[in-house]
Structure 1
Amino acid sequence: MQAGLRERKKAKTRAAIQRHALRLFQEQGYAATTVDQIAAAAEVSQSTFFRYFPTKEDVVLLDDYDPRMLQALQEQPPDVPPVRAIRGAIRRVFEAIDAADWEREQQRQRLIQTVPELQARAMQQYVKTIELLAVALTEREGLPIDDFNARVLAGAVIGASIGATMHAVGGEYELSDMDLVDQALGLLEDGLPLGGS
């Protein structure tokens, strides 16, 4: 019980730091905003900031969606094929996003698209997401953790998701873009036939 309360407090502090950081980045610009300013706005010490976020970049790149999606994937029925299970997990996570969370996600994406150092780190995060998804797939399917096919499938899922939403780069992501991600994963599930509408 105590551990659960502690984890909730940590999550609340982490979210508050990120919320204040995104607000300051929007008001002052990413480069002009310091860790000291973020910590002061969130009413935490600088050492507390660094306990939650190793760098200023990390406060933007924190993504709560990967853990939620992996949890939702674990909860899919075991007899559902892998890509269909991933589609179900993504749908479940994005149907639960409220307007405030989505606005924060759009702020994050705008920053990532306009700040070169964040763009570079975002690419590293895609690799990490592929690794996390590959491990989740191997656990789900009872395969060795380094299974080649699971890693390739995870990479294909992330690539299909990026391909489906490339139109939004430099613009706004909409929740309806998740329909395009689902459509892209449907193509993946069907063997990626070309020439569709």
Structure 2
Amino acid sequence: MTDQHSTLRAQRRSETQRMIQAHAVRLFTERGYDATAVTDVAEAAGVSPMTVYRHFPTKEDLVLFDQNGRIVGERIAASSAAQHLVRRIGNALIESATTLTGGAHGDSPTADERFLLARLRLMISTPALRAKHLDNQYVLQRAIVDGLGDEADDPDTLFHTQAAASACLAAMHTAVMRWAEDNGRTDLPALITQAFTATFGASVFGDGAAVDGGQP
């Protein structure tokens, strides 16, 4: 019973977070980030400012918060250590992008894609968010390392993992910016795959990529 209650609480928390964030992104887009106060977001969401801050400690978090780090870490942990390290990281990032965009792409952006696009535009256009976005990249790198667990417990392997993660995140960032410029008309996971292939080569990140024990 306790586990069931914990699961229900986590679900309600996640639903509340999504609802508050959706209102925040809408208001920031309509009125401007600086012109919109946290109290405005609370009023639109029908909750108290205290509830907003309980879920999003800072105003920036209302835009930047997502489940990307958790998803990527889980995918990394579930991947085979026999795969090339870059391939493991890249696949996890692509799978996360597929989850965040709703897992499907048609002629026009889905609701999940429109929400992600709105967040990206706010990050790009708002100086405070651009600066904070760099912190998110570090958090994502940390999630990748943590996903490997004991595999990255010695200094040399940790260094290689951090370098590979940084390179993958830079390539992904380029793809995400292109996707935003295209207004979501292209498939984001496909763009990220193209960026990885261009960066690391088809021999590492393509169909039939070599298996080499996971080293970059």
On whether the aligned pair clears a TM of 0.5, the verdict is yes
Relative to 1, partners in 2 of residues 1:166 and 1:27: Cα closer, same or farther, differing over 3 Å? closer
Q: How far off its partner does 1:173 sit?
A: 4.4
Cα distance in 2 for residues equivalent to 1:27 and 1:106: 14
Distance 1:145-1:67 versus aligned 2 partners, 3 A rule:
farther
Contact 2:97 2:189 in 1 (8 A): yes
**Bigger mean CA deviation after superposition, 73-82 or 49-58:** 73-82
Are residues 1:70 and 2:73 paired? Answer: yes
Instruction: Give the superposition deviation at 1:168.
Output: 4.7
Structure 1 residues 55 and 12, CA gap change in structure 2 (3 angstroms): same
Q: Does the 8 A contact of 2:179 with 2:186 survive in 1?
A: no
* Residue in 1 that maps onto 2:212: none
Q: Is the 8 A contact 1:94 1:175 kept in 2?
A: no
Closer, same or farther: CA 121–173 of 1 in aligned 2, 3 Å: farther
Other-structure match for 1:188: 200
Equivalent residue in structure 2 for 1:143, among 133, 147, 152: 152
Work out whether residues 165 and 177 of structure 1, in 8 Å CA contact, stay in contact via their aligned partners in 2. Answer: yes
C-alpha change, 1:181 and 1:44, in structure 2 (3 Å) is: same
SS state of the match for residue 142, structure 1? helix
Farther off after superposition, 165-174 or 72-81? 165-174
Instruction: Report the equivalent of 2:139.
Output: 128
Q: Secondary structure at the match of 2:57?
A: coil
Counterpart-to-counterpart distance in 1, 2:111 and 2:33: 21
- If asked which structure has higher relative contact order (CA below 8 Å, sep 6+), I would say 2
Of all paired residues, the percent bearing the same amino acid is 28
Task: Give the gaps of 5 or more residues in structure 1.
Answer: 193-197
Question: Which one of 27, 51, 55 corresponds to residue 48 of structure 1?
Answer: 51
Pairwise CA distance, 1:70 = 1.9
- Contact in 2 for aligned 1:113/1:169 (Cα 8 Å): no
Shift of the 103–158 alpha-carbon distance from structure 1 to 2, 3 Å rule, reads same
User: Whole-Å Cα distance in 2 between the matches of residues 48 and 86 of structure 1?
Assistant: 35
Give the alignment's Cα RMSD to 1 decimal.
Answer: 2.4
Q: TM-score, normalised to structure 1's length?
A: 0.84
Structure 1 stretches of 4+ moved >6 Å: none
Give the TM-score taking structure 2 as reference length.
0.77
1-structure distance, mates of 2:194, 2:141: 19
Q: How does 1:145-164 map to 2 (within 5 A)?
A: 147-164=158-175
Unaligned 5+ runs, structure 2:
103-109, 206-216
Are the structure 2 counterparts of residues 35 and 169 from structure 1 closer, same or farther at C-alpha, using a change threshold of 3 Å? Answer: same
Aligned CA distance change for structure 1 residues 49 and 126 (closer, same or farther; 3 Å): same
